[in-house]
Chains A and B, each alone.
Chain A
């Protein structure tokens, strides 16, 4: 490996906290910038000449690189973006409406292997401060994967925000999606998932799915807010909406959990660990099978 890169001014952004703040940064990988005003003909390594799409950033990236989504970046995703490089970091700059936002518009499927918005398929990947708007597709069949899918070990999803409002929406986060069961020891921190569906017919499937493929081990969740809004989640009456463990989650550590607007949390037999509920509203409940 070459000597690490030293950025005395960090990534040059101004978003408080974390990698985007103005502080010294040492990194072994290459940093690439993305903004919808940019061009995919650029190299993307200069902040003033960003790439236009996350797909191009993905194509150019190697293991342990950093992709910076600049404030105000917006993009429609029509085909799942599958990140395979290990240790890849994707961080968004900007707060509120300026937070980089993706909108799924994936008509094909359903297939858990192909219809996530962003699929994190490399070990140790990290995504922070990214938002998803409701899917533009409105068919009655939800996709089989979330806005962000995870299928490798040591993945972290931090400070991401998901607005679901279409019957095509499966979930905000799909941890353990079609993985072969290797999405272990991951982390979900300070994320929000909200349903804005107008009625139960258009309600999204769930806020978060855990272990669609097989058991998960060592998942850490902190500060997750799941809000069912007015229409909550599809199948809410059968405990399959809200936050749902499809397979067992072993050594689950969930703290500061907010279950709002009738959002239930369901775990299947064999799940171990703990769930610490900070806030709840409506008929929110925890159903943990013995």
Chain B
């Protein structure tokens, strides 16, 4: 490995992900900038300078290697018409900006939006609006260990017939922190499926300050967090179950669920 890179001013941002704040940053990998309004796609070294960002996530992933950081800058918006596989181990995709200026990734395909297969991938401060093409597949699917999902905002509506965040075989030691999953369906007929789904058995799922919000129309499943596979060592603290967002856990799940706030008929169903 070459000597680590020292970014004396960090990634140069001022809001959003912790990594985006102005502080010295040492990295073993490269940093790639992404901004759809001003960027342009080209092979490396395009995208290494903040003032010459790339335009698409696909190009950023092409340029990036293991342990690199992709900085999606404030105002980045991208509609993806094909599945995006994230296979680089230790890759970080972080967003700058707050609220509606957070980087947005909109699904317009009958497939997963993000399929994470690289161990230790992190997504931080990204915004996933409701899908625009109907699909029963997960929006973000995790099939590997040690991934981090932090400060993500998921909106789900009539086209989201699958989970927003799904853990399948291979997932483990995952952290979900500060994420919000909300149904934006306008009517019960438009209910999305669910927020989080543990499809297959996994070990060590850590959740903290996660908000599951059924909105005005709720979830179709009807659970907002669905465990069809058992979780060995679930640690869930400061969970907000709002507006009829229920939780169901599969038989064999061990650990704890700590509910900070709840509204509507929110409930926890934990199979013996």
Contacts and interface: CB of A to CB of B under 8 A. Distances in A.
Interface stretch (A18-26, A71-79, A159-167, A192-200): A18-26
A253 B148 contact: yes
A185 B145 contact: yes
Contact of A251 (B23, B24, B90): B90
Given A17-B238, A218-B146, A255-B18, A29 B254 contact: yes
Contacts of A282: none
B146 A277 contact: no
A107 interface: no
Interface in A240-275: 250-251, 253, 255-256, 269-275
Nearest to A27: B256
A63 interface: yes
A87 B260 contact: no
B132 interface: no
Contacts of A64: 233, 254-255
A251 B258 contact: no
A277 B19 CA distance: 10
Interface in B247-271: 251-262, 268, 270
A24 B2 CA distance: 50
B204 A154 contact: yes
A24 B3 contact: no
A156 interface: yes
A212 B162 CA distance: 44
Interface string A117-138: 0000001101000000000000
Interface in B219-268: 232-233, 235, 237-238, 251-262, 268
Nearest to B5: A274
A271 B1 CA distance: 9
Contacts of A290: 1-4
Contacts of B145: 185, 218
A217 B256 contact: no
A286 B26 contact: yes
Contacts of B25: 274-277
A1 B272 contact: yes
A99 interface: no
Interface stretch (A2-10, A37-45, A202-210, A227-235): A2-10
A273 B256 contact: no
Given A19-B237, A156-B206, A290-B2, A276 B18 contact: yes
Interface in B193-232: 203-204, 206, 232
Interface of A: 1-4, 10, 17-19, 21, 23-29, 63-64, 66, 86-87, 89, 123-124, 126, 153-154, 156, 184-185, 187, 217-218, 220, 222, 250-251, 253, 255-256, 269-278, 280, 286, 288, 290
